[in-house]
Amino acid sequence: MLLDNTITELGTLLRSKKISSRELVEEAYDSIEKHNGALSAFITVREKKDALCDADASDASSSRGPLAGIPFCLKDAYVTKDLKTTAGSKVLDTFVPPYSATVVQKLLASGAILIGKNNMDAWGHGATNENSDYGPVKNLWDTTRVAGGSSGGSAAAVSARMAAFSIGEDTGGSIRNPASMCNIAGLKVTYGRVSRYGAIAYASSLDTVGPMAKSVSDIAEILEVIAGVDPKDATSSRREVPHYSTLLEKPLSGMRVGIPKEFFAEGLTPEVRDIFVKATRMLESLGAQTLEVSLPSLPFGVSIYYLIAMSETSSNLNRYDGVRFGNNPSFFGEEGMRRIIIGTYALKAGYHDDLYGRALKGRTMLIREFDALWETCDVLLGPTIPTLPNKLGDLSENTMSAYLADAFTAPVSLVGSPSLAIPAGFSKSGLPVGMQIIGRKFDEATILAVGHAYQKATDWHKKKPALLS
């Protein structure tokens, strides 16, 4: 398939007119036709003729940015002008936004072709995509299992070649978790690296906008386009955007890779642990120098994360009153209601200091612990999620276990660091297992270089699910 190629390769083929954008878009729609019924990766698919029209215009145009003519999709958390946007919730089932998110504007301006809007846990609330009001997303590697969440639709769509890439959204692991479950790459950027304007908020101090694609080099190409300051997002950073794609080739010799021992806690599935250890050996063989480090507060990460995220989401969701747009609040699903109620309590006078206030202190503690590690480490390495993708419905009765899926990803979100999830191997049952490479704030370049070196030496990311062949 053409969409097996990297974005760089596709760009070369497009520029030399060996292929057309129309062919790529046709192929994306063919995949959707074949697999979306089983996967539910989309909430809204754009009219094929509209996408083809854009592709033809791209083929006829002489301007050729790195993403020109490349088909992509968006998690349905990004508002798109004149195209229904739901955030996975029936509250917004009728919502057609009057404007487009900054990330959408940047991608469209770069010439990328929008295919559709991906399924997601409603409001980003979930790690398995089973909290979507539009049905759960299924995993292409085993359709009885979940694709992860909350950006599950994005991960499923990319792994099924329904587009070359998708833009996910990561608050506590929502890009990294499904990327690892679906054997693709996903980058949670540094908080502030990519504009959040037009990203429907889950928890504003944690929400990040990032790419999901098949390879680290693809991620670098996309990040270059979407990163940068935005006058419409006061939390976006003014730091210059490096040319990530030209910084990928960096030898790993001397690279100091810290491995926090707290990742090897109770709850880490032995198979996941073994695959992760093997991956660290591979990095060592490439010249990296691994060292055991400690993040004593890591085990508190999930509790701190959920208190802050639920407090913020209870506030952010206050605007959905059905007065100006969308349906009335009775359309909120069970998980949304749960988080609104818990968050409301956490902010209430009398509880505020013990719950929200204490969580903020815990967050500061975590930030200090991470900061201290950057003295001795260039990157940190850990498993993305403690388990293999669960069977659909397995966790529906057990909210706490579902929350623990974020145990390794949420602490990184709390400190604001970037983290790249990439495929690291497969279980005996043939399910993908991923790992995350965590970097200093705004040092995406280094974690991308480590990930790229690993992908040059391995071919986990090139494995395709049986259903595709």
Partner 1 sequence: MNKYTPVIGLEIHVELSTNSKMFCGCKNDPFGADKPNSHVCPVCLGMPGALPVPNKKAIESTVLLGLALGCSINRHSKFDRKHYRYPDLPKGYQITQYELPFCYGSELHTSEGPVRLRRIHLEEDTAKLLHAKNKGEESRIDFNRGGVPLMELVTEPDILSSAQAKEFGKKLRTIILYLGISDADLERGNMRLEASVSLRKEGETALPSYKVELKNINSFSFMEKAIQFEIKRQTALLEEGIQPAQETRGWHEQTGETVLQRSKENADDYRYFPDPDIPPIELSEELLNELKAAIPELPSAKVERWKKDYAIEERYGTMLSDDRAEADKWDALFSALKKETVPVADVVKDVANKKTAFTNQTPVAEIHAHYHAKKTADAPSPEKIAEAVATVITENAKAVADFRAGNEKAVMFLLGMVFKRLQTKLGADAIRAELLKQLKKI
Residues designated catalytic: 75, 150, 174
Closest CB to partner 1 among residues 55, 199: 199
Report how far residue 150's alpha carbon sits from residue 163's, in angstroms, rounded to the nearest whole number. Answer: 18
> Using CB under 8 A, which residues numbered 210 to 249 contact partner 1?
231-235
Alpha-carbon 142 to chain mean position: 20
Closest CB to partner 1 among residues 90, 256: 90
Asked if 79 interacts with partner 1 (CB under 8 A), we say: yes
Rg (CA), the chain: 20
Closest CB to partner 1 among residues 244, 331: 331
Name the one range near partner 1 by CB under 8 A: 14-22, 31-39, 77-85, 170-178. Answer: 77-85
Q: How far is the CB of 360 from partner 1 (least distance, A)?
A: 9
Under a CB-based contact definition with an 8 Å cutoff, are residues 175 and 182 in contact?
A: no
> Using CB under 8 A, which residues numbered 164 to 203 contact partner 1?
196-201, 203
Under a CB-based contact definition with an 8 Å cutoff, are residues 224 and 243 in contact?
A: yes
Of the CA atoms within 13 Å of residue 302, those in its CB half-sphere come to 15
> Using CB under 8 A, which residues numbered 371 to 430 contact partner 1?
none
Closest CB to partner 1 among residues 325, 374: 325
- Give the closest residue to 367 by CA, choosing from 417, 418, 294, 410: 417
* x-or-dash string of contact with partner 1, 256-295, rule CB under 8 A: ----------------------------------------
The correct pick among 264, 325, 374, 426 for binding partner 1 (CB under 8 A) is 325
Asked if 324 interacts with partner 1 (CB under 8 A), we say: yes
In sequence order, what DSSP letters do the residues of 257-287 get, joined into one string? EEEEGGGG-TT--HHHHHHHHHHHHHHHHTT
Helix (H) or strand (E) holding 42: strand 42-45
Closest CB to partner 1 among residues 29, 356: 356
Closest CB to partner 1 among residues 203, 377: 203
Q: Name the pairing type of β-strands 42-45 and 113-118.
A: antiparallel
Q: Name the pairing type of β-strands 379-383 and 432-439.
A: antiparallel
Report how far residue 243's alpha carbon sits from residue 257's, in angstroms, rounded to the nearest whole number. Answer: 23
Binding-site size, partner 1 (CB under 8 A): 41
Name the one range near partner 1 by CB under 8 A: 158-166, 349-357, 379-387, 461-469. Answer: 349-357
* x-or-dash string of contact with partner 1, 32-71, rule CB under 8 A: ----------------------------------------
> Using CB under 8 A, which residues numbered 93 to 122 contact partner 1?
95, 97-99, 101
Provide the residue type at 24 as one letter. Answer: L
Under a CB-based contact definition with an 8 Å cutoff, are residues 275 and 382 in contact?
A: no
Under a CB-based contact definition with an 8 Å cutoff, are residues 404 and 302 in contact?
A: yes
- Give the closest residue to 455 by CA, choosing from 223, 279, 207: 279
Site residues (vs partner 1, CB under 8 A): 78-79, 85, 87, 92, 95, 97-99, 101, 196-201, 203-205, 231-235, 311-312, 314-315, 318-321, 323-325, 344, 347-349, 352, 356
